[in-house]
Chain A
Amino acid sequence: MDDLFAPPDNEWRAVSAALATMRRVLLLGVGCLVLVVIVVGCLLLSAPAWLVVPLVLFGVALVTCGWIVIGRNARWWGYAERDEDLYIKHGALFRKLVVVPYGRMQYVDVHAGPLEQLFKIASVHLHTASPGTSAVIPGLRADEAARLRDRLTSLGETQAAGL
């Protein structure tokens, strides 16, 4: 880890491992579906084996790449709560770091889709008056997401600076 994305004071807090698991399950699901479609299609069209085997291998390679990328990405998510602002970093290839002062927050969203609920995780989204602020923390454990939301809203109220 280099200086550029060093944590502001102590450590980055990582997101739940369930995020990578969920994404990998999703990837495998989609991969299997595509594989079935390819195999069935080839059988129906009675395509020669020299076409089917590379296609399947290619699909497997893609899924493997996705598996690795998901793991890397999930490891790169991190956040640090400070007294007056929140640091969030993410992205393994395109690395990003965003600093949101609590006083600038307009509102905080907690979102959990059906699949996320299954894995008991949620994402927290911070909104400021600028649409450019892309401050999202996905894959927080549900109780951690609720705690973070409550802390953010109460800090936002006491430090509110508006526009």
Chain B
Amino acid sequence: MTEHPDPPGRSYKRLSPLTPLVRSAILVVAVVASSWNDVLRGDLGPLGWVLLAMLVAGAAYGTASWFRTKYWIEADELRVDTGVISRQSRRIRVDRLQGIDIVQPFVARLLGLAELRMDVAGGGSREGSLAFLPLREAHDLRATLLARRDAVRAGHPAGTEDPRTEAEQRTAPPAPEQVVARLDLGMLVVSLLLSPETGAFLVSAAFFIVVFATFGGVGGAAGVVSLVVGLGLTQFRKLSAYYDFTVAQTAAGLQVRRGLFDRSTQTITLARVQGVVISEPLLWRGFGWARLDVAVAGYASGSADGSKPSASTVLPVGPRPLVMWLARHLLQASGGPDPDAVALAAPPVRARWVAPWVRRFLAAGIGEDLVVSRAGLLSRRTHVVPHARVQSLRLHQGPWQRRLGLADVLVDSPPGPVHVRARHRDVREARALLDEAGVRSRAARSL
């Protein structure tokens, strides 16, 4: 591209030369695994040849791609040039950086490499990704970029240099961090064993055993075995994702590090927190445990049901006081209010005609800084959104609800795990809730 002249001689950097190897690791394994017997016999089968050809082509492309990928920092922008056939040049404004995650997939981790993922406001989720860098370099680059960003935001107009030189910035010690929570392996294992999935497993296993006992035959046994394997796999996935879960307080926000095979480090910028969800499955309540998820603008994925490990989890399991402390910490941008201080009220008794079973587990309330709703018996979830983060408010009323004089109030949040829903409220209360939430969020926005 002519409009993006090549950077001056020495200033650009390349990714790690091992990058193509990491990217094609799966293919290498496939080749070796599929043709192992043939190799031992001395010749490669046809499948082996095809895979080998793909591997060679992939390696050539990967190397070319690595060679053409360069990155450097220039005038408050991180520039990344990529592309073998059609060239691309990305410019990521440093002051638009919301957070930088460091992710280490398993193979990359074996080689001491890491991927740098930049969270850019409004950009596609994986708009800015640099893969792969040596871990040290990734940490340094992350620190440099964040320091630059803070300097730019602090009022250095674009173009003027930071008083410190680049080398100084790179060697500057990272801001002191304070570990707030470290997940104990025993607790994680127990929590996974007591999860709703295990309950569902026991119920279906009991069903199969009854079938087995009544009708004999192997059907029941096969069913139980497949259930055990399925449960084991899903719970192991969670175990490996949440292994060595560490939450630390840093200058940039709350940092979450986790993973057994794939390590990931992500920083939650407190100013971007849209709301939190506190989940308390039935079997955990005896221990006083809870789980905390957060909605951050930009992390579109994530759900609160905990069936899949997700990036929105701040603490997969922990004592309730710690979870509540973390929740208050995450809501700091709105003054650090306590979700437990908001008085929750249940819907009127006549709501049992529309929600016979769940009525008793529904509750909602509005506080000085927060809107809170709660639902669920097997897994009680408390959704919390600060008034300052409310996007829009809705009121719904179906024909049955109209008969009973009930209505739902819904609070819209950006995509994420948090959905505050005050269901089946008395009409007068619903409208009052809507109006009050509107007034309070208006006041909170104009602060």
Contact = CB atoms under 8 A, between A and B. Distances in A.
A103 B389 CA distance: 11
Contact of A99 (B392, B399, B428): B392
B272 A85 contact: no
Contacts of B136: none
Contacts of A95: 395-398, 402
Given A4-B397, A100-B392, A101-B442, A129 B414 contact: yes
Contact of B412 (A5, A6, A93, A132): A132
A94 B392 contact: no
A161 to B, nearest CB: 5
A98 B430 contact: no
A94 B395 contact: no
9 tightest CB-CB pairs across the interface, nearest first?
Answer: A130-B412, A97-B395, A130-B391, A132-B412, A133-B392, A129-B414, A99-B393, A128-B391, A163-B297
A63 B125 CA distance: 47
Contacts of B412: 128, 130, 132-133
B414 A130 contact: yes
B415 interface: yes
Nearest to A163: B297
Interface in B388-447: 389-399, 402, 407, 410, 412-415, 419, 427-428, 430-431, 434-435, 438, 441-442, 445
25 contacts: A3-B427, A5-B395, A6-B431, A85-B442, A93-B398, A94-B396, A94-B399, A96-B396, A99-B438, A100-B392, A101-B392, A101-B441, A128-B391, A129-B297, A129-B391, A130-B392, A132-B410, A132-B419, A133-B391, A133-B394, A134-B394, A159-B445, A163-B274, A163-B297, A163-B389
Interface string B98-129: 00000000000000000000000100000000
A3 B428 contact: yes
A134 B396 CA distance: 12
Contacts of B272: 163
Interface of B: 121, 272, 274, 297, 389-399, 402, 407, 410, 412-415, 419, 427-428, 430-431, 434-435, 438, 441-442, 445
B39 to A, nearest CB: 52
**How extensive is the interface on chain A, given as a class?**
20 to 34
A150 B364 CA distance: 37
A100 B427 CA distance: 20
Contact of B394 (A6, A84, A97, A163): A97
A94 B394 CA distance: 13
Contact of B427 (A2, A93, A101): A2
Contacts of B394: 96-99, 132-134
A5 B297 CA distance: 31
Given A4-B395, A93-B399, A100-B392, A130 B427 contact: no
Interface in A76-101: 84-85, 93-101
A5 B445 CA distance: 25
A54 B442 CA distance: 57
A135 B392 contact: yes
Contacts of B399: 93-94
Contacts of B393: 98-99
B427 A103 contact: no
B430 A4 contact: yes
B438 A4 contact: no
A2 B442 CA distance: 25
Contacts of B395: 4-5, 95-98
Given A103-B445, A131-B415, A132-B412, A98 B407 contact: no
A85 B445 CA distance: 12
Nearest to B442: A84
A104 interface: yes
A93 B419 CA distance: 24
Interface in A44-97: 84-85, 93-97
Contacts of A2: 427
